[in-house]
Chains A and B, each alone.
Chain A
Amino acid sequence: MNSVGKLKILLVEPAHLLRRTVSLTVHSLGTAEVTEAAAYATAEQLCEGQSFDGAVVALDWPPEDALSRGLSLIQQIRAGKSASGASIPIAALVESCNAELLQVLRACGISRILIKPFRVRDVIDTIDSMRGTARLQ
């Protein structure tokens, strides 16, 4: 957490309106400090340089190429290859979820899965729910 005790959250979401609305609202509520990434490359760079208390990551699933970059970002964090703790709470935002993806996400220790269509309110509640888990880190 930062010096004033706010959760530091990484939000990786390409959809502009959703990402900005979550970020602006959380900022105005004063419950967390959200760092936005519209692209996975930006998120990877942020993860190398900054420590986060939690992350909300939109997954490119099924992946366009052989590898899901969102999933790789999560696996990188879990492997301790980021400036954040390996066990920080991570929520996944997905278009849909089948048994295969569920198994993969469980293996990654995902704390919450939000399946579209979800609301900004759901993402904000998810970030709020990370507070307890983050304090235990």
Chain B
Amino acid sequence: MIKPALPANEKERLALLYELVLLDTPPEERFDKIVEFASNEFKVPICLISLIDADRQWFKARVGIDACETARDISFCGHALLGNEILLVPDALLDPRFHDNPVVTGPPHVRFYAGAPLVCEDGLALGTLCVIDTVPRTLDPVELAILESLRDLVVLELNANRTDADE
């Protein structure tokens, strides 16, 4: 397993995440609706809006898992955070970054992962919108574009928090 590296703008990224006052807050319908929609659209058992804190990933909205957070070290989303494009892992067992990750070798037995980074206007990625399956699969270009659109809608909602905080 390869632990995710820290992005160069980690300090600013965390400052924005804390400014938005999202971590450890109750579920919100505006985010819950998006993960339910994405789960149905891609026919996946797990869909998450994951926010990456200093040493954990915390789920603002989730479908298909009970845990509300996991360690950042074992998170797929920590890797997705490092780029602007969707991180696509068709089969985690074949990927050296994840093949022996405890969430792959044990419950929830992740095999497929696609995570779109939640990049805010100033280029700071706060987390991901991700879809996960327990069997290998992939997304075609139209499905990737749909995931990006849903990601954009999540980012709009996150930015709405920012506007509220500014007022």
Binding site for B on A (CB under 8 A): 17-18, 20-21, 24-25, 28-29, 117, 119-121, 124
Are B37 and A28 touching (Cβ within 8 A)? no
Helix, strand, loop or mixed for chain A's interface?
helix
Are B149 and A20 touching (Cβ within 8 A)? yes
| A123, chain B: closest CB distance, angstroms | 10
B143 beta carbon closer than 8 Å to chain A:
yes
Binding site for A on B (CB under 8 A): 33-34, 37, 40-41, 141-143, 145-146, 148-150, 152-153
CA distance A77 to B141 in the complex (A): 33
Nearest to B149 among chain A residues (CB) is: A24
Enumerate chain A residues within 8 angstroms of B37, measured Cβ to Cβ: 17-18, 21
A selection of 24 A-B contacts at a CB cut-off of 8 Å is A17-B33, A17-B37, A18-B37, A21-B41, A21-B146, A21-B149, A24-B148, A24-B149, A24-B153, A25-B142, A25-B145, A25-B146, A25-B148, A25-B149, A28-B145, A28-B149, A29-B142, A119-B40, A120-B41, A120-B146, A121-B41, A121-B142, A121-B146, A124-B142
CA distance A119 to B40 in the complex (A): 8
Enumerate chain B residues within 8 angstroms of A28, measured Cβ to Cβ: 145, 148-149
| B115, chain A: closest CB distance, angstroms | 18
| A15, chain B: closest CB distance, angstroms | 9
Enumerate chain B residues within 8 angstroms of A117, measured Cβ to Cβ: 40
CA distance A28 to B145 in the complex (A): 7
Enumerate chain B residues within 8 angstroms of A120, measured Cβ to Cβ: 41, 146, 149
| B36, chain A: closest CB distance, angstroms | 9
